[in-house]
Structure 1
Amino acid sequence: MKKLNQNGYALLNVLMVFTLVTILGISLLSITISSQAYVKHSKTYLEDMTKAEKRLDEASAEYEVLLEGINNEVLNSQTLLTKLGSLEARIEQRSGIEVTAKTLKQITATNNLFVQTVDITAPVGPEHAGKKLKRTLKVSTIADIFNYGVVTNGDLTLNGAVDIKGNIFVQKRLYLSNRGKFIQSGTTYYPGTVYPSIQGDMTVKGLDASGQPYSSAYFYNSSSSSTTAQNFRPITNTGSLSSYFVSSPRIRDAIVSTNQINILGRINEKHAAYTARKGQIANGLNNSLLSGTTVYNTSKKFLQNLELTGVLNVAGDVLMEGNFTMGEAGRLITSGNVFINGQADLKGTIELTNPNSYVYINGKAAISNLNLDGQMYISDAADIRSDFNTNGTVYVEKNTSIENLNNVSGGTAVILSNGSMLVANNNEYSSTPKIIDAFLYSNETLEMYGVGSNIKIKGGVYGSNIILNATKGETRNSLGGRYVWVGPKWYHYEWRYDLDPELYNNVGGLYFEKNQQKPGLPSRLQIEFKEDLILNPPTGIPTVEKLKVETIDTEVK
């Protein structure tokens, strides 16, 4: 009986093993079949995605060709929409292609600004639950340069850990350094840091003024130890460019119109309008101070220097023959233009109720803590400090200085200088960046500092030559000058500085974190392209005569 039981158990074990092997076999077979089906599905999906993308490429290319065909015609607001509608209808004739257009800004009799988005959609095969591939194009009259994070028709110099998110276009040469730059007491210092980081496409033409190529288009700083000098040498092997970036850009050969904006011409037009208008407004006023609330139902001319600390509301133009000072409590509201024939010190709020109105200043301008609803033209230099809240455009004839800039309007401040532009002393020695919504432009050299400063430009920059200087992490002008309680240590109490001197390098009187190569340590100068600059363009942004199409995005729906 005992032997029989043992045989029974052996048989039972065999059956259990057989059953287990059978189950595993069936499971493996199921997995194999599922894997094959998944691979087949994935392969089909990729093939269908490729076909859909090709169809979008063809439709987008055809749209661009058709658009160029109407660019040679003189179109007003109504005929333009009709013509564009016919282009969209022709594209939609392609099998399965859907086209949807949305006009964001329409051309008017006084404004050449036009912005439209065009969604072109293609199905991703019949087997993928109605999935579609959508490409969004932007059609506009906004100048090419506003589609880039950094643009120069000259040289671009990146001193140190500049962080750029957006496309870059350089007409001449690119200079790369792993040292920042700052000036202290008349001496220029180059503290050690890392090379720049660029996330986007980069085009470096390497062409001189006559359109001929230089012997080299790329240069790097070969000085490894000096903090008071740099030595740039050509990069002979462009295949090694990745060695000079923390994050490397994609090298492209884009075509961009970098023609300078005629700032002086636009300002002169406003000056001519001022000259014509001042003889048309009679009965000048002799007020030198306006407080409280003052209302005029017609255009007014003020003959003396005027200070505004209250509210001035004018139904028409406001013309000032002297200097104009407006305090932080001041508010100027007008349905016309503002003409200032002297210098201007502007705080408070200027509200232009007509979108085509503007402020013209026939002298130097100091701007700080100002809210501006509209555009401004300055026929001299400009000093812009602190809050400048605007979704508008400022044209400056001479040099422009920008310090502690801030823009919380929800729009973008476009500042265009015919002279040089210096952006320095913004959010100094702070641990967190100040976000500035702006596009900064100079027809001469634009130089920007992110060493003591700590800023993030959401928009972009343009210069005839551009110099960007940055380090990473903490920068201090001292080690703190105070002690911090750290509690008992053994039998006594210990005090220490709030920053450890062993972790910081002293260069030119400033203190920099030693570990500049630390991953994730943020740059003190960041530039990030802002698509909303195009989709929600500021009042007065420069335009061109012809429509241009750009691809914004491609996504699966």
Structure 2
Amino acid sequence: MKLNNQKGYALLNVLLIFTIITIFGLSLIGMTLSSQKFIAYSEEYTANLSLAEMKLDESMIRLENEIDQLNNEVDLNNVTAQLLTLKINNLIESLNTSKDIKFSSQNIRNITSEDNRFSEMVTIKVEIGDSHRYIIKTVTITTAADVFRFSTVTEGKLTFNGAASIKGDIYANNGIYLSKYAKFINGDIYRPLSAYPVIDGNITVKEATALGMKFFEGIDPTWHPVKDLNTLYTFLNNKPTMKDRSVQFNQFNISNIINDKKKIYNNDKNNTTIVSRESYFNSSKEIDQSITFKNLLYLDKNLEVKGNLFLEDGIIMTSQGSLKISGNIYIKENKHMKNYLSGTITLDNEENFIYIDGNTSITDLSINSHIYSSGNVDIKHNLNMNGTIYASGESTIENLSNESGGTAVILSKGNLTVSNNNLYEKNVRQIDAYLYSDQDLEIYGVGSNIKINGGIFGKNIILNATKGETYPTRGYSAYNPNLNLSNFSSIGELYLEKNQSNPNLPSRLQIEFEPDLIQNPPVGIPTVEKLQITEIDQKIE
């Protein structure tokens, strides 16, 4: 009896094992079939995605050809807004000839008789096979100069001293120079070891050199050519896309633009007969016509002029001062000091402007218009504006903030230097701005800690940056009373955070492309006399 029980248990075990093996086998077969179906689906989706991308590229070529033809037919200086809108709508409709490719558009800004800023957002939507998923590309048809479609553009060399972070496309005509050593000036020049930059976007480099690739690595003045892309990617710690594109330089002449405003000043001056020799107001004042002030005006009150305002010996305007003008403001150079603008300036129409003859210091200024200066411009602290500053001389920017919600566009014919902004702070300060120089543009992000939402342009560009926290060796407790000095190295009277190679450590100089520069150009931004296409975004939904 006991033997029979043992035989029964043995049979039961055999049946149980057989059942388990059977279930496992069926499951394995099911998984294999599912995997084969998934692989087949993936291969089909990949093929359809590739086809959709080809259709999208073809659609872009068709759009570009139509815009080129429209540029040949239309003079933007003479066309009406209604006619241009009609032509754009007809153009977009003519492209909708395929059921699986859909063009749509939305006007953002139309031209006026005084202003040829134009922006039309176009969406191209291509279905990926029959998946009900789509590749969607957004582009803008605009009169904004094509340099504004990049985060960083240089006609010459782009030099990274340390760990700047760029998000957006880069165009460097004469090469990119990469160094893991930052740079800052504190009496002497110091070069602390940091890390290589991070670039999140497409890169275009022109003008091949005899040394090989247009990328170089090392430390100024000793640079070594980078031999291949794989080596380049080890320096950048990522793999940005290399893209062949073109940019037209010298599309606008800053000196000519400023001189045109001076001509308007000379014409308006001849039509003004009211003259004042006042230098200071004991109370706020309202003047109901254009007026000329012969002496240097010190303004810490409210002044309203219903017409043009002429300041023949300059102005010193404090943070308590306020100007409200229904015309233009013309400021001549003081023989003994530069002009100072602070407080609030309000012009009734966005076509009105401020012309300044000579050097100017701008500090804590809120303004709703644009400025043209024939001299140097120094900008400090808060600049609230959605407009443009033109300077025929050199420009400096220190401790800048922009809290207005607008974008400050600063165009300098001379060198432009950005330094001492948000010094020794742990949290980054965001600035909405586009910075442009016909000469060299240099930005510091070592003691400074800033993020520029917009873009930059320079004949040559130098970006100096470290990562993490930075404090002065004397007075650091004012910024961080609990600072653990073992986590910092000391150089040039600064404490710099160690472990600069940590990819999670944020850069103290960040630049991110802002599409709004193209989609909604600020007041006074330079434009060109033809329509151009700028790619804004591409995604799959």
Q: Which amino acid aligns with 1:338?
A: I
Shift of 1:27: 3.2
**Equivalence for 1:226:** none
Q: 2:421 aligns with which of 423, 426, 442?
A: 426
Q: 1:240 aligns with which of 231, 240, 257?
A: 231
Q: 2:150 aligns with which of 144, 148, 151?
A: 148
Kept in 1, the 8 Å contact 2:145–2:251? The answer is: no
**Equivalence for 1:175:** 177
Distance 1:510 1:317, change over 3 A: same
Kept in 1, the 8 Å contact 2:429–2:449? The answer is: yes
Kept in 1, the 8 Å contact 2:108–2:121? The answer is: yes
Is residue 80 of structure 1 aligned with residue 100 of structure 2? no
Rounded Cα–Cα distance in structure 2 between residues aligned with 1:506 and 1:147: 39
Q: 1:415 aligns with which of 397, 410, 417?
A: 410
Q: Which amino acid aligns with 1:299?
A: S
Bigger CA drift: 330-339 or 54-63?
330-339
Secondary structure of the 1:135 match is strand
Rounded Cα–Cα distance in structure 2 between residues aligned with 1:158 and 1:280: 52
Rounded Cα–Cα distance in structure 2 between residues aligned with 1:481 and 1:410: 32
Kept in 2, the 8 Å contact 1:383–1:400? The answer is: yes
Residue ranges of structure 2 left out of the alignment (5+ in a row): none
**Equivalence for 1:69:** 69
What is the TM-score with the length of structure 1 in the denominator?
0.89
Shift of 1:85: 1.7
Shift of 1:550: 2.2
Rounded Cα–Cα distance in structure 2 between residues aligned with 1:421 and 1:536: 25
Kept in 2, the 8 Å contact 1:479–1:498? The answer is: no
Q: Which amino acid aligns with 2:65?
A: V
Shift of 1:479: 5.6
Distance 1:285 1:467, change over 3 A: same
What is the TM-score with the length of structure 2 in the denominator?
0.91
Q: Which amino acid aligns with 2:141?
A: V
Rounded Cα–Cα distance in structure 1 between residues aligned with 2:152 and 2:508: 17
Shift of 1:198: 1.6
Distance 1:255 1:18, change over 3 A: same
Task: Number of aligned residue pairs: give it.
Answer: 532
Q: Which amino acid aligns with 1:319?
A: F
Bigger CA drift: 299-308 or 65-74?
299-308
Partner deviation per Cα, 1:373-399 (whole Å, 9 max, x = no partner): 121111111110000011111000101
Kept in 2, the 8 Å contact 1:479–1:499? The answer is: no
Is residue 396 of structure 1 aligned with residue 387 of structure 2? no
Partner deviation per Cα, 1:98-130 (whole Å, 9 max, x = no partner): 22111111111111211111111222333x2x3
**Equivalence for 2:538:** 554
Q: Which amino acid aligns with 1:530?
A: E
Rounded Cα–Cα distance in structure 2 between residues aligned with 1:356 and 1:19: 85
Q: Which amino acid aligns with 1:221?
A: G
**Equivalence for 2:137:** 135
Shift of 1:90: 1.6
Kept in 1, the 8 Å contact 2:146–2:534? The answer is: no
Shift of 1:476: 2.2
Distance 1:390 1:512, change over 3 A: same
Distance 1:100 1:481, change over 3 A: closer
Is residue 164 of structure 1 aligned with residue 170 of structure 2? no
**Equivalence for 2:197:** 196
Q: Which amino acid aligns with 2:444?
A: Y
Shift of 1:6: 5.4
Q: Which amino acid aligns with 2:217?
A: Y
Is residue 513 of structure 1 aligned with residue 479 of structure 2? no
Shift of 1:292: 4.7
Is residue 273 of structure 1 aligned with residue 261 of structure 2? no
Distance 1:214 1:146, change over 3 A: farther
**Equivalence for 1:534:** 518
Q: 1:437 aligns with which of 413, 429, 432?
A: 432
Q: Which amino acid aligns with 2:128?
A: V
Secondary structure of the 1:72 match is helix
Is residue 59 of structure 1 aligned with residue 91 of structure 2? no
Distance 1:135 1:218, change over 3 A: closer
Q: Which amino acid aligns with 1:139?
A: I
Partner deviation per Cα, 1:484-507 (whole Å, 9 max, x = no partner): 9xxxxxxxxxxxx94455443332
Partner deviation per Cα, 1:325-356 (whole Å, 9 max, x = no partner): 22222222223211112343111111222121
Bigger CA drift: 332-341 or 262-271?
332-341
Bigger CA drift: 326-335 or 296-305?
296-305
Secondary structure of the 1:518 match is coil
Q: 2:305 aligns with which of 287, 294, 314?
A: 314
Secondary structure of the 2:410 match is strand
Q: 2:362 aligns with which of 335, 350, 367?
A: 367
Q: Which amino acid aligns with 1:218?
A: F
Bigger CA drift: 336-345 or 11-20?
11-20
Bigger CA drift: 395-404 or 423-432?
423-432
Rounded Cα–Cα distance in structure 1 between residues aligned with 2:227 and 2:40: 47
Kept in 1, the 8 Å contact 2:135–2:539? The answer is: yes
Rounded Cα–Cα distance in structure 2 between residues aligned with 1:234 and 1:14: 71
Kept in 1, the 8 Å contact 2:52–2:126? The answer is: yes
Rounded Cα–Cα distance in structure 2 between residues aligned with 1:406 and 1:192: 28
Partner deviation per Cα, 1:429-470 (whole Å, 9 max, x = no partner): 222222111111111111111122121111111111111111
Bigger CA drift: 354-363 or 380-389?
354-363
Kept in 2, the 8 Å contact 1:480–1:499? The answer is: no
**Equivalence for 1:346:** 341
Q: Which amino acid aligns with 1:70?
A: L
Distance 1:236 1:124, change over 3 A: closer
Rounded Cα–Cα distance in structure 2 between residues aligned with 1:479 and 1:473: 19
Q: Which amino acid aligns with 2:181?
A: R
Bigger CA drift: 274-283 or 12-21?
12-21
Matches within 5 A, 1:105-124: 105-124=109-128
Rounded Cα–Cα distance in structure 1 between residues aligned with 2:526 and 2:268: 24
Shift of 1:554: 2.1
**Equivalence for 2:104:** 100
Residue ranges of structure 1 left out of the alignment (5+ in a row): 208-212, 223-228, 485-496
Is residue 220 of structure 1 aligned with residue 217 of structure 2? yes
The percent of aligned pairs where both chains have the same amino acid is 41
Q: CA RMSD in A?
A: 2.6
Rounded Cα–Cα distance in structure 2 between residues aligned with 1:482 and 1:42: 57
Shift of 1:200: 1.6
Partner deviation per Cα, 1:60-110 (whole Å, 9 max, x = no partner): 111111111111222412222222222211210123322211111111111
